[in-house]
């Protein structure tokens, strides 16, 4: 399972959204007013450890960004909080992949209104996950 799919599954299981309805992996569609999207961004260096294969990567550290869009400012802020609650300081298994820790790196940042007067926020997270 891809990292992006795993992150989407985490949001679904936390009750934050429904895939392809109000939760999107990758680009956010313009036609959905109240939604969020998850996109992978810069990945940090893998974590290496000594072992059977000297210096082999044992964990990856992908970065990801969540963008929230909502027509109502208060409801949008509530959704932002739900995203933080689902990811910040999360440690557990998503699908079959152990996530050692997910942390909020930056945000939430209010981006203002889009061209259709919808409020937007962005949050940046870093995950440490066991290499599969």
How much is the pLDDT for 48? 81
Our count of domains for the chain comes to 1
pLDDT at 87: 98
Predicted pLDDT at 31: 94
Q: What does the pLDDT read at residue 52?
A: 64
At 53 the pLDDT is 61
> What are the pLDDT digits (tens) for 87-112?
999 999 999 999 999 999 999 999 99
Low-confidence ranges of the chain (pLDDT < 50): none
Find the domain containing 65 and state its range.
3-130
Sheet of strand 35-49, all strands in order from the earlier edge strand to the far edge: 23-25, 35-49, 56-70, 119-130, 97-113, 90-94
Cut 0.85: pTM above it = yes
Q: What is the CATH number of the domain that holds 65?
A: 3.30.2000.10
């Amino acid at each position: 399972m891809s990292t992006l799919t795993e992150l989407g599954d985490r949001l679904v299981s936390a009750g934050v959204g429904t895939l392809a309805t109000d939760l999107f992996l990758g680009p956010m569609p313009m036609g959905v007013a109240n939604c969020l999207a998850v996109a992978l961004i810069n990945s940090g260096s893998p974590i290496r450890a000594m072992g059977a294969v000297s210096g082999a990567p044992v964990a990856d550290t992908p970065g990801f960004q969540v963008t929230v869009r909502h027509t109502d400012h208060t409801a949008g802020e509530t959704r932002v909080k739900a995203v933080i609650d689902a990811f910040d300081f999360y440690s557990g298994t998503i699908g079959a992949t152990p996530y050692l820790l997910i942390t909020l790196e930056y945000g939430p940042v209010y981006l203002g209104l889009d061209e259709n007067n919808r409020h937007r926020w962005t949050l940046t997270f870093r995950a440490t996950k066991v290499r599969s």
